[in-house]
A = this chain, B = another copy of it.
Amino acid sequence: MTTGLARFSINQMTVKQLSLPELVDACGQLGVSQAGLWREPVQEYGLEAAAKLVRDAGLTVTTLCRGGFFTAIDPEERAAALADNRRAVDEAATLGTDTLVLVSGGLPPGSKDLRAARERIADALAELAPYAEAHGVRLAIEPLHPMYASDRCVVSTLAQALDLAERFPARQVGVTVDTYHIWWDDQAPAQIARAGAAGRIHAFQLADWTTPLPEGVLNGRAQIGDGAIDMREWRSHVEAAGYTGPIEVELFNEGLWARDGREVLAETADRFHRAFQ
């Protein structure tokens, strides 16, 4: 396990109060050389301009967040989702990242059929994965915590994510390991080993777990070290599985967003450093 910031990547959402140029500048000042970006702020700034900005600054884009939302039943909605995901692949390629993170989508209105929704994800991947490979982009299915199963992501465990990913070559489809979503799962270490053995750990993200959860449970992802998750243990599992890539810190947290973004970025880098000393 190396310490310091060599492996650290700041996910843009953690400091979404910073504009893209502010983020790039703050990274340069702090010696942060990697960032995970989100589609919406990139589109807002302009895709080509954003690509030039990070390239000129020497900032490596570790992931683009996010594609997915594949669970619609309606054919038109499904076609629109696929078209949007092809654009996400194009954007990832333009930004120079090889990894598009996928959040699969929840149950369609009125449906109670998780199994069928998961199968529709596989159908969508069969169309999207070859397109992504042709553009040099790997898809990284992210299992989300089971509390999101109905409305955001019917893929709730690494085992489920791998069951989907393994229908495709590892160079096309792998998984995102995010501590916030899997920390409770005693099966996750074995699934990390399964993913690593097949070269399917395409992204590794950190956030800490604190309670009480806020209404809607979206923006309670806590700063590293503030919560219940043993970050060293999870990093050890991922590295024992052969992962040597970037480690993104991705926090959704109203408290952090209300503060000065540069200060939050510096704190996050410091917490990362201290978590692995």
Contacts and interface: CB of A to CB of B under 8 A. Distances in A.
Interface stretch (A96-104, A227-235, A248-256, A261-269): A227-235
Interface in A130-150: 145-147, 149-150
Contacts of A186: 114-115, 118, 157, 160
A217 B147 contact: yes
Interface string A195-225: 0000000000000011111111100000000
B212 A216 contact: yes
A17 interface: no
Contacts of A112: 228-230, 233
Contacts of A212: 151, 215-217
Contacts of A22: none
Contacts of A114: 184, 186
A149 B146 CA distance: 12
A107 interface: yes
Given A160-B186, A186-B115, A186-B160, A150 B215 contact: no
Contacts of A113: 230
A81 B241 CA distance: 40
A147 B145 contact: yes
Nearest to A160: B186
Interface string A152-164: 0000110110000
A213 B147 contact: yes
Contact of A215 (B145, B213, B227): B213
27 contacts: A107-B228, A111-B228, A112-B229, A112-B230, A114-B184, A115-B186, A118-B186, A146-B146, A146-B147, A146-B185, A147-B147, A147-B213, A149-B228, A150-B210, A150-B211, A150-B228, A151-B211, A160-B186, A211-B216, A212-B215, A212-B217, A213-B213, A213-B215, A213-B216, A213-B217, A214-B215, A215-B215
Shortest Cβ-Cβ A-B pairs, 5 listed: A149-B184, A112-B230, A215-B215, A146-B184, A150-B228
